[in-house]
Structure 1
Amino acid sequence: MARVLVVDDDPRLVKVVASLLHKRDHQVESVPNGELARQALRRGGVDIALLDVNLPDINGLSLVFQLREEGNTTPVILLTVRTEVQDQALGLRLGGDDYVAKPFNPEVLLARIEAVLRRSAAGAAPRAEEVQSGYLEIPPVLVDLTARQVFKDGAEVRLAPLEYAVLEFLATNRGRAVSKEELMLRVWGTSRGVSRTLAEHISRLRRKLGDGLIVTQTGYGYLIPAPPGDRATTAR
């Protein structure tokens, strides 16, 4: 059971979503604007937020960006009628955890919520502490997030900017399998036409950092396994 905050000024949509979530035994709180959403998220106690992008008082993308700047890590699924790839990429880059277009299939929305909650639960606290320190250690690799440098066994490994971007996103999501589509959206801003380019970047990272660092999830995407003792996604 999760505590879900629904942020939308359309009472009919809120009613439908709340009914859907109640059937899965989730607790639901709803607010009609961004300021009330900000207050609720700052107050805490929310496991996930469904945030409409087009709110009456503030753009949802601006709100999620502000929250992330404040250090608020509550998972957020963005809801919007806009389906352009560029809009989806921007929403993810600004801090959204997923992006669902309206009108949506109820079962798909539920599946997206459950997937984001699983990702959030899988080792989120240790990763947050590492990111705050500015370093991510994946022995024998160390990622300096501030300087955007990578070291293996103490020696610097030079990565191209996009190679570093791929590595950083996988590393900050350590323990979670990341789909190819999500990775391409995050790094290239589109999920179309760059699948082969992504594969090439993964191949180069493996050559530079070792074959065992990045695991392929067949038919889905890629994974950097969680440290021993943490719950990790099953590898290939």
Structure 2
Amino acid sequence: MSTTPPLTRPRSVPQMLERVQHMITPQSMSRALAFQPRPSDVFIATFPKSGTTWLQQIVHGLRTGGDMDFDEITQVVPWLETALDLGLDIDGPQRAQPRAYKSHLPWPMIPKGGRYLVAVRDPGDVLVSQFHFWNGWFFEAGSVTVEDIARDLFLNQTLPFNYYRHLQSWWPQRREPHTLMLCYESMLADPQAAVRRIADFIGVPLDAALLQRVLDQSSVEFMRAHARQFDDHLLREAR
């Protein structure tokens, strides 16, 4: 009979920070940092819960004409930092051009030489969205409050990765030709304008039919109806 105690979820922010260090292996992170992109490669380089999955779906829909033949969006738009851990080849061909990747890396760390699509979102909404996303996965449900997350993580300037450091790193790049910085709230208010700007930035010809298909398949209603394809279950199962 095994005497190994059952694995439990963290019950505090410090415990969560210790556990999350092991979510990405050093080998996978090293592979991500050493990646040599093509000039046409597109990096969706958002802070978590700032429209990342939404942008993955828009970019993939634009480049494929609306392909939905995937189990989870990470399979077709890999998360650069976890790709090696999930058995995904970031150097290989993708389903369509341009190749696209998700990343949460700040500007100094992300591989240079591609194009960078960045969305910024109201920090209060990011905080609340992160809390609900992590509750019951990153920590035991109900054991950590949103105030704990705000104080010990979101506003903790000693951590290498937080909302404000990420934004400060990308802000000087906002007018560079290799970067398109979008406002999440503006995307919500006028998704058609956002899709047009993204299509132009990644070099995909856009007609009325493709525009409508991408708008339909990146809507809240559509993505909720197909939630299994956007729920990070590949990473959840691996970790």
Normalised to the residue count of structure 2, the TM-score between the two structures is 0.29
Query: Relative to total residues, which structure has the larger strand share, 1 or 2?
Result: 1
Between 1 and 2, higher relative CO (CA 8 Å, sep ≥ 6) is seen in 2
Normalised to the residue count of structure 1, the TM-score between the two structures is 0.30
